[in-house]
Amino acid sequence: MSDLDRASIETRLEEEWRSLEAVVDALSAEELQQPGVVEDWSVKDLLGHMAFWANKAAGDLALARSGRANEIEVPFIPNAEGSGGENVTDDWNAREAAARKGKSLKDVMQEWEDSFQTAQAALKASPPEVLEQEVRGWSMLVRFREDTYNHYKEHAEQIGEWKRNLETTEA
């Protein structure tokens, strides 16, 4: 991985974060807590969800950097034959949503903001050989990308669409 590639990854992380942040900043506290953005989740719920995955991405990079990639947990449990398995992503998401249910909007927003800083620092601290390391079928870079900036983009689009629909309904 060249320095140019690293720079483009860091730039993409920053850009998708800023886009998401702009969408979130345009919402009122009431809107941030209104359910129905993605199924019964509010923006607040989505922020906690993204914080979990960004923190996981950072933690996974730390494990890989310390030579402990075998300790990385993934939400897919392969069967004994290796030809399929069980995806428990929804279970993880439900567990994390329940863990944050009683938290204040302020606390969840702080966790979300901190998770970006943590992920950004973990990326910068990870040498190319760590990012290129394959763990359970995906490179660490692909894992990081999916759990951070692709995730930010996905949910920014969903929040934006929800807000547009809300405005048309209220008009």
Q: State yes or no: pLDDT of 163 exceeds 60.
A: yes
The answer to whether residues 48 and 97 touch, using CB atoms and an 8 Å cutoff, is yes
Listed residue (89, 106, 9) closest to 49, CA to CA: 89
Query: String of b and e for 82-114 (b: at least 16 CB within 10 Å)?
Result: eeeeeeeeeebbeebbeebeeeeeeebbebbee
Percent of the chain with pLDDT over 70: 91
Say what the pLDDT of residue 3 is: 53
Whether the CB-CB separation of 148 and 13 falls below 8 Å is answered with yes
In the chain, what are the domain boundaries? 3-170
Instruction: Name the one residue in this structure whose structure tokens are 């900036």.
Output: 149
Helix (H), strand (E) at residue 53? helix 43-65
Binned at pLDDT 50, 70 and 90, residue 147 comes out as very high
Structure tokens at 96: 């994390």
Mind listing the pLDDT tens digit for each residue in 41-97? 999 999 999 999 999 999 999 999 999 999 999 887 666 555 566 788 999 999 999
For domain 3-170, is the CATH number 3.40.50.2020? Answer: no
pLDDT above 90 (res 127)? yes
C-alpha to C-alpha distance for 21 and 111, rounded to whole angstroms: 14
In the predicted structure, residue 166 carries a pLDDT above the cut 90: no
